[in-house]
A and B are shown apart, each in its own frame.
Chain A
Amino acid sequence: MKTEIYMPAMSPSMTEGTLTKWLVKIGDQLKIGDPIAEIETDKATMEVESQIEGVMSEFLVENGQDQIAIKTPIAIIETTNSTEKLKGKLFTNTIDDQPKKKSTKGPYIDQDKRLDKITVREAIRDAIAEEMRIDKNVFVMGEEVAEYQGAYKVTQGLLQEFGAARVIDTPITENGFAGLAIGASFSGLKPVVEFMTFNFSLQAMDHIINSAAKTLYMGGGQLNCPIVFRGPNGAAARVAAQHSQDLTAWFSHIPGLKVISPFTASDHKGLLKAAIRDPNPVIFLENEILYSEQESLQELNEEIIPIGKAKILREGNDITLISHSISLKMCLEVSKKLEKRNISCEVLDLRTIRPLDINTIINSIKKTNKCVVVEQGWSQSGVSSEIISVIMENAFDWLDAPVLRLTGKDVPMPYAENLEKLALPSEYELIKIIESLV
């Protein structure tokens, strides 16, 4: 009987992948466990093994074919066992599956860009690489940043270009390597420290707050700490409470830290370059789900973007939607929908959370007189709380309605698909809130 093989979902956030190459030929006899194809996901390049016995009879996708959605049939295997129902059981590899062999011969930098587009992931990597080329004191450190090519492929190719002395795999020891990197920055190096995700930065919080943020002040300006802590922050997909949370407000609370949470690819690049050059400790919050977002190269702004400047992503007259990172995607989509109903939304991308660009916020409020703040984080003492206070203090007289907010629900992130969706801000909720104001 013929059995279809599907494009497997190999990570929680994967929606499509590239079949880099077939590792077998038509007519090959397959045993369970034989590697049959190499698939590149948003996280890594992995080998897929056959989970049935049979003969490879047909390829439905070609070597190098990209943007293959998960669950798309990719090949047909002729099996001898006609009774076993195999369909749908195949290739359910999860995030924890490591490549079985060293298959991640990462392409060298600047050779893997698609012709006309760049992803957020590539923008971050290019920013690091460009700064490393300029300044030999810049180095990268973190878990799986070197040989693995980055747990989310962000540091792909850096090891090959800069070598193991400057692209350093650490043990799983966040407090230790955060402290070590801060110590290195005290004597003039400029570490770019990757937290595999910011969930794990909680292990290192003492060093970030007590050692990195405060030493300049405590020493009367003698000892600065030029360091960047970067990595994905915010809700991921289906990984539950400990691995899915937005910690922006935590870091934004601390004087001495700068906190950046960009949205577009060009902002990731320009702001990360600025962060690496900044003489202060900078928390650079990325988002796993944004990594694969693309921007055309023509649009990509190659400039250094100053820290502390918000940006109007979309002009509007009736209401201002203020947000940062991935929630802006929702704000833009909602704005598009409401435009058809003659509600004109202005969308403000904070980009930097600390220091906050109060002027841009206030100017927008003066124009629209109404505002909703949107964030994934929890509401109590959140980023939105701060922004609403700033508006009350500086633009109360310009308001025609109370400033409202849409935040993550006040619960740890649940695992179940439906509950996870409920826990996060939704388009529906945002539209309802806007409707109540305009």
Chain B
Amino acid sequence: MTNKTKKTNTISKSDSIEAYKKMLLIRRFEEKAGQSYGLGHIGGFCHLYIGQEAVVVGLQMCIGDGDQVITTYRDHGHMLACGMNPDGVMAELYGRADGYSKGKGGSMHMFSKDSNFYGGHGIVGASVPLGTGLAFSNKYKKNKAVTLTYFGDGAANQGQVYESFNMAKLWELPCIYVIENNRYAMGTSVQRSSAQKDLSQRGISFGIEGEQVDGMDIESVIAAGKKAVTKVRNNGGPYILEMLTYRYRGHSMSDPAQYRSRDEVKEVRDQSDPIESLKNKIIQNDYLTEEQLQELNADIKKTVDQSTQFATESPLPDESELYIDVYQ
């Protein structure tokens, strides 16, 4: 991690508090989703974002109104960061009528055009050409918007990623590729899957610049994100941000966790948890008192509880929904 961007005390008081709130919301929301899954309220696949919160929260603070976000199936954090309503997200996880996809998409497939969130895509690597296409549309419309195209270290080995890199550079599309390297593609570590382990350098043969960023540190994420967004918005062309991050939970809810030790997880949690680190800075800089922090915590807990309440009360989709929205 020698080249990674590392910054300290570079964000304002209000940004610090904002980031903390959003990260905590995602953390608590995901914990709740995990519990609800255990209780059988959520079915199927459910990929939690716990541990990676600084990446999406930090980058979201770097983009503007018309900018777009697209990601893979570990997507609840991205939705909340984009400003989507936790009630609607949780209701979708519950498979209810008031979910973002009317209960027909589930954890991996939610969209919100209003929030410029384009999914939520279940096939590893598929978000990359799609995101490149969003960037293409921005260039076509000459609207100066940029697209954040997220994918993981596992997707980074998909051929379509490089097909996209080629076209993005060839046509100078305003696309920021965010590789969330959480070290494991399901259970296969980057060490065991990738010849070039520095994923930020995967664009080199296309002439796409990239950098590694400490994705566990919100300030580093914001610093790198601002630089990348400015560069891409002003000059066009793609850029790669490899976010070095870590997921505390399994790949999905049914993960035997045989591929890494408990100690490894504990070490990351103890030493570089993004939320704890920012909390410490907030306290050190007297941005908030302990009391205010507790209040904030309670508010978030209330929001999350409310989302499960909302989801529970929302009805199952009407059976007539079965045949709706196959075609427009």
Q: Which residues of A contact B (CB under 8 A)?
A: 139, 165, 170-171, 173, 175-189, 206-207, 210-211, 215-224, 255-256, 258, 279-280
Is B166 on the interface with A (CB-CB < 8 A)?
yes
Dominant SS among interface residues on chain B: mixed
Count of residues in B whose CB is under 8 Å from the partner chain: 46
Could you tell me if B137 and A223 are in contact, using CB atoms closer than 8 angstroms? no
Query: How far does the alpha carbon of A165 sit from the alpha carbon of B140 in the complex, in Å?
Result: 7
Given pairs A175-B159, A183-B118, A186-B118, 9 additional interface contacts (CB within 8 A): A171-B166, A173-B166, A173-B167, A176-B166, A182-B130, A186-B134, A189-B136, A206-B123, A220-B104
Query: How far does the alpha carbon of A182 sit from the alpha carbon of B129 in the complex, in Å?
Result: 8
Which of B94-102, B179-187, B282-290 lies at the interface?
B94-102
Give every chain B residue within 8 A of A170 (Cβ-Cβ).
167
Query: How far does the alpha carbon of A63 sit from the alpha carbon of B122 in the complex, in Å?
Result: 58
Could you tell me if B104 and A217 are in contact, using CB atoms closer than 8 angstroms? yes
Contacting B111 at CB < 8 Å: which of A139, A206, A223?
A223
Total A-B residue pairs with C-beta atoms closer than 8 Å?
143
Is B110 on the interface with A (CB-CB < 8 A)?
yes
Contacting B163 at CB < 8 Å: which of A173, A188, A211, A221?
A173
Could you tell me if A183 and B121 are in contact, using CB atoms closer than 8 angstroms? no
Query: How far does the alpha carbon of A165 sit from the alpha carbon of B111 in the complex, in Å?
Result: 29
Give every chain A residue within 8 A of B113 (Cβ-Cβ).
222-223
Give every chain A residue within 8 A of B166 (Cβ-Cβ).
171, 173, 176
Nearest opposing residue in chain A for B321, CB measure: A220
Could you tell me if A220 and B99 are in contact, using CB atoms closer than 8 angstroms? yes
Contacting A210 at CB < 8 Å: which of B104, B118, B123?
B123
Query: How far does the alpha carbon of A256 sit from the alpha carbon of B326 in the complex, in Å?
Result: 5
Query: How far does the alpha carbon of A171 sit from the alpha carbon of B111 in the complex, in Å?
Result: 30
Q: Which of B112-149 contact A (CB under 8 A)?
A: 112-113, 118-123, 126, 128-138, 140-141
Give every chain B residue within 8 A of A210 (Cβ-Cβ).
122-123, 126
Nearest opposing residue in chain A for B158, CB measure: A175
Given known pairs A187-B137, A211-B126, the reply for A224 and B170 (CB within 8 Å) is: no
Could you tell me if A181 and B101 are in contact, using CB atoms closer than 8 angstroms? no
Query: How far does the alpha carbon of A3 sit from the alpha carbon of B99 in the complex, in Å?
Result: 78
Is B109 on the interface with A (CB-CB < 8 A)?
yes
Could you tell me if A179 and B327 are in contact, using CB atoms closer than 8 angstroms? no
**B162-186 to A contact mask, C-beta < 8 Å, 1/0:** 0110110010000000000000000
Could you tell me if B134 and A184 are in contact, using CB atoms closer than 8 angstroms? yes
Give every chain B residue within 8 A of A139 (Cβ-Cβ).
140
Give every chain A residue within 8 A of B163 (Cβ-Cβ).
171, 173, 175-177
Is B68 on the interface with A (CB-CB < 8 A)?
yes
Give every chain B residue within 8 A of A182 (Cβ-Cβ).
129-130, 133
Give every chain A residue within 8 A of B121 (Cβ-Cβ).
211
Could you tell me if B102 and A221 are in contact, using CB atoms closer than 8 angstroms? yes
Could you tell me if A220 and B102 are in contact, using CB atoms closer than 8 angstroms? yes
Could you tell me if A220 and B100 are in contact, using CB atoms closer than 8 angstroms? yes
Give every chain A residue within 8 A of B123 (Cβ-Cβ).
206, 210-211
**B291-325 to A contact mask, C-beta < 8 Å, 1/0:** 00000000000000000000000000000000011
Distance from B310 Cβ to chain A, minimum over Cβ atoms (Å):
16
Give every chain B residue within 8 A of A183 (Cβ-Cβ).
70, 118, 129-137
Is B16 on the interface with A (CB-CB < 8 A)?
no
Could you tell me if A219 and B119 are in contact, using CB atoms closer than 8 angstroms? yes
Could you tell me if B109 and A219 are in contact, using CB atoms closer than 8 angstroms? yes
Q: Which of A210, A217, A220 has the most CB of B within 10 A?
A: A220
Query: How far does the alpha carbon of A180 sit from the alpha carbon of B112 in the complex, in Å?
Result: 19
Given known pairs A180-B129, A206-B126, the reply for A280 and B328 (CB within 8 Å) is: yes
Give every chain A residue within 8 A of B43 (Cβ-Cβ).
none
Could you tell me if B136 and A219 are in contact, using CB atoms closer than 8 angstroms? no
Given known pairs A165-B140, A222-B113, the reply for A175 and B328 (CB within 8 Å) is: no
CB pairs A–B below 8 angstroms (19 shown): A171-B163, A175-B159, A175-B160, A176-B163, A176-B166, A179-B133, A180-B129, A183-B136, A186-B133, A187-B118, A216-B328, A218-B109, A219-B101, A219-B110, A219-B111, A219-B119, A220-B325, A223-B111, A256-B327
Nearest opposing residue in chain B for A176, CB measure: B163
Could you tell me if B132 and A179 are in contact, using CB atoms closer than 8 angstroms? yes
Is B250 on the interface with A (CB-CB < 8 A)?
no
Given known pairs A206-B126, A216-B326, the reply for A223 and B133 (CB within 8 Å) is: no
Distance from B151 Cβ to chain A, minimum over Cβ atoms (Å):
12
Is B105 on the interface with A (CB-CB < 8 A)?
yes
Give every chain A residue within 8 A of B101 (Cβ-Cβ).
218-220, 222
Could you tell me if B170 and A171 are in contact, using CB atoms closer than 8 angstroms? yes
Nearest opposing residue in chain B for A219, CB measure: B111
Distance from B237 Cβ to chain A, minimum over Cβ atoms (Å):
15
Could you tell me if A184 and B119 are in contact, using CB atoms closer than 8 angstroms? no
Distance from A165 Cβ to chain B, minimum over Cβ atoms (Å):
7
Give every chain B residue within 8 A of A258 (Cβ-Cβ).
327
Contacting A280 at CB < 8 Å: which of B70, B112, B327?
B327
Nearest opposing residue in chain B for A141, CB measure: B136
Query: How far does the alpha carbon of A198 sit from the alpha carbon of B273 in the complex, in Å?
Result: 50
Given known pairs A176-B160, A220-B105, A220-B325, the reply for A184 and B136 (CB within 8 Å) is: yes
Query: How far does the alpha carbon of A178 sit from the alpha carbon of B167 in the complex, in Å?
Result: 12
Query: How far does the alpha carbon of A59 sit from the alpha carbon of B111 in the complex, in Å?
Result: 66
Q: Which 7 A-B pairs have the closest CB atoms?
A: A183-B133, A179-B129, A176-B163, A220-B102, A183-B130, A218-B109, A220-B101
Distance from B193 Cβ to chain A, minimum over Cβ atoms (Å):
20
Could you tell me if B326 and A179 are in contact, using CB atoms closer than 8 angstroms? no
Distance from A329 Cβ to chain B, minimum over Cβ atoms (Å):
31
Could you tell me if A186 and B328 are in contact, using CB atoms closer than 8 angstroms? no
Give every chain A residue within 8 A of B119 (Cβ-Cβ).
215, 219, 223
Given known pairs A139-B140, A179-B160, the reply for A219 and B105 (CB within 8 Å) is: yes
Query: How far does the alpha carbon of A351 sit from the alpha carbon of B118 in the complex, in Å?
Result: 34
Distance from A235 Cβ to chain B, minimum over Cβ atoms (Å):
29
Distance from B207 Cβ to chain A, minimum over Cβ atoms (Å):
14
Could you tell me if A179 and B128 are in contact, using CB atoms closer than 8 angstroms? yes
Contacting A184 at CB < 8 Å: which of B120, B137, B170, B327?
B137
Given known pairs A180-B136, A183-B132, A186-B130, the reply for A215 and B111 (CB within 8 Å) is: yes
Could you tell me if B167 and A255 are in contact, using CB atoms closer than 8 angstroms? no
Query: How far does the alpha carbon of A246 sit from the alpha carbon of B181 in the complex, in Å?
Result: 42
Give every chain B residue within 8 A of A180 (Cβ-Cβ).
129-130, 132-133, 136, 164, 167
Could you tell me if B133 and A185 are in contact, using CB atoms closer than 8 angstroms? yes
